[in-house]
Amino acid sequence: MNEFAEKLIHGRVHVSPKRLGNPGPNASQKNQILLAANAAPDHGRMMPWRFIEIGQSSRDALGEVFHQCLLDRDQNATPIQLQEAREKALRGPLLLLAIVNYEDATNEISKEEKLVSLGCAIQNILLSAYALGFGSGLSSGKALQSPRLRNLFNLADHEDPICFITIGTVTQNKLGRIRPSVSDYHSIF
């Protein structure tokens, strides 16, 4: 394999949003990163996904949802836990919400295929960010299943939020995990 492709695919690692700081991608870099999503395999050309960027001026509104979601789950959450929940929304210069869209007038493409397509689009985004010198991390969490989050982003019934993508400059490096070997996931029939 070409050295660049090898480095790109095997060099990317998950970086916690806590360790992703400024600078984030500039406007042209952000466009390149987002453009990479449209190269994802997409059965039926349905583009069964979209990405919402949570701009700096909207981070507090997301933080409020995280705060309220924690209170919904745990009435006894401490002020520190509530503050931490709120601060999660502030991490990282570029924050995207990845959304799968199950709408399908033909009913021919399964939900699973649509999720696979979103996964491919996400990986393209992560690899493009990495190629531009940025770190990235995915995060999920219980708030994604809450009506509060759906309301905040005005999601349609046929959409589900899947994870957040944070992109920025790596402020602290951590070693990647040990990868599985090919024999762990490949067999010949």
Ligand X SMILES: Cc1cc2nc3c(=O)[nH]c(=O)nc-3n(C[C@H](O)[C@H](O)[C@H](O)COP(=O)(O)O)c2cc1C
Which spans of this chain sit near ligand X (rule: CB under 6 A)? Answer: 13-14, 138-141, 162-163, 176-177
Q: What angle do CA 113, 115, 118 make, to 5 degrees?
A: 115
Nearest residue relative to ligand X (C-beta):
14
In this complex, which beta carbon is closest to ligand X, that of residue 81 or of residue 139? 139
99 or 162, CB closer to ligand X? 162
Q: Which is nearer to ligand X, 68 or 123 (CB)?
A: 123
- What angle in degrees, to the nearest 10, is found between the helix axes of 27-37 and 111-131? 150
**Residue located via tokens 């924050």:** 95
Please identify, using beta-carbon distances, which residue of 34 and 162 lies nearer to ligand X: 162
Cα(123)–Cα(164) distance, integer angstroms: 13
Report the residue number, 140 or 173, with the smaller CB distance to ligand X.
140
Q: How far is the CB of 164 from ligand X (least distance, A)?
A: 8
Where b means 16+ CB within 10 Å and e means fewer, 89-119 reads bebbbbbbbbbbbbebeeeebeeebbbbbbb
Q: How far apart are CA 124 and CA 121, in angstroms?
A: 5
Confirm if 72 and 125 have CB atoms less than 8 A apart.
no
Task: Report in angstroms how near the CB of residue 28 gets to ligand X at its nearest.
Answer: 26
Q: How far is the CB of 139 from ligand X (least distance, A)?
A: 4
Q: How far apart are CA 23 and CA 65, in angstroms?
A: 26
At closest approach, how far in Å is the CB of 58 from ligand X? 20
Q: Measured from the CB of residue 19, what is the shortest distance to ligand X in angstroms?
A: 11
